[in-house]
Amino acid sequence: MKIKNRALLIGLIAVGLLSWSASATTYSDTDFGNISVMASYNGTYVPGSPGYEHLAYPGDPTDPTDVDAVVGVKGPLGTLNSLSMSFTYANLTSSGSDVPFAAFGVSLGSTWNAGDNQFDIISDNGNQLYGYSLVHVWDLTTGADVAGLSGVTLNSILNLANPYSSATYGSLEAMRAYAYVGDEGALSGSVDINSITVGSYVASAPDVASTALLLGLGFSTLVVFGFRQNRVTMAK
């Protein structure tokens, strides 16, 4: 169907955005300084108007692969098959070619950092994680990617049983919604995380580029990036 009425087209796009935002929660400003709401590694809360989380990954001379920094919303947030997320950022500096990326930390039940059945579902598409995002699944017990679950869509893993039980990945509880930066190819760098948004499951991404063009919203940090992160060092 071709819509000739430009006002109607803009209105339809706006309605689509409202349907997403109405079921989403955005964490920003003083949330980053509240340890009951947020957890971080190599991160510092910077008060201001608004405040933000400054992530820096200087690297560890004794472990050159330890170059990650992260801030995450603490859960439980709901089951993986009911959630999507994104975040906004600014002032990225890097000695490598990495891009900040989104991830859900999921577990069986509402306990984090205890026992098996704990995974990071990591976006390969930068700062967005939704149904058609390419992901890889990091097993926090083995410290490695789950075999066969790299470069696959989030949709495709939701009904798969995890290696430790009959519980599917989609039924696992999201205990963290992460904004990560750094990887094995980066020696040092930093980024400011301005907000993290967690909302209802989205099967496909909204047409961000068209929406920004038509409505002048300037969502420059919501561009989808194609890249691969191989290692996550923290899940607090």
Indicate whether 4 belongs to any domain: no
pLDDT at 184: 57
The position carrying tokens 């790299």 is 150
- Can you give the pLDDT at residue 6? 45
146 belongs to a structural domain: yes
The DSSP call for residue 162 is P
Answer whether residue 10 is part of any domain: no
Structural domain harbouring 174: 26-205
Question: Is the residue at 230 inside a domain?
Answer: no
pLDDT attached to residue 228: 38
> What is the domain-level CATH number for residue 49?
2.60.120
- Residue 228 domain-assigned? no
pLDDT tens column, 127-176: 999 999 999 999 999 989 999 999 999 999 999 999 999 999 999 999 99
Residue 192's φ and ψ, nearest 5 degrees, are: -105, 125
Question: pLDDT tens across 50-85, in order?
Answer: 999 999 987 666 666 667 899 999 999 999 999 999
- Report the pLDDT value the prediction gives residue 146, as an integer from 0 to 100: 96
For residue 210, what are the CA distances in angstroms to 5, 20, 57? 16, 16, 34
Domain membership flag for residue 223:
no
Q: How many domains does the chain have?
A: 1
Asked whether the whole model's pTM tops 0.85, one would answer no
In a 3-state reduction of DSSP, which class is residue 87?
Answer: strand
- In this structure, is residue 192 part of a structural domain? yes
Is residue 215 assigned to a domain? no
Mean pLDDT of 36-52: 96
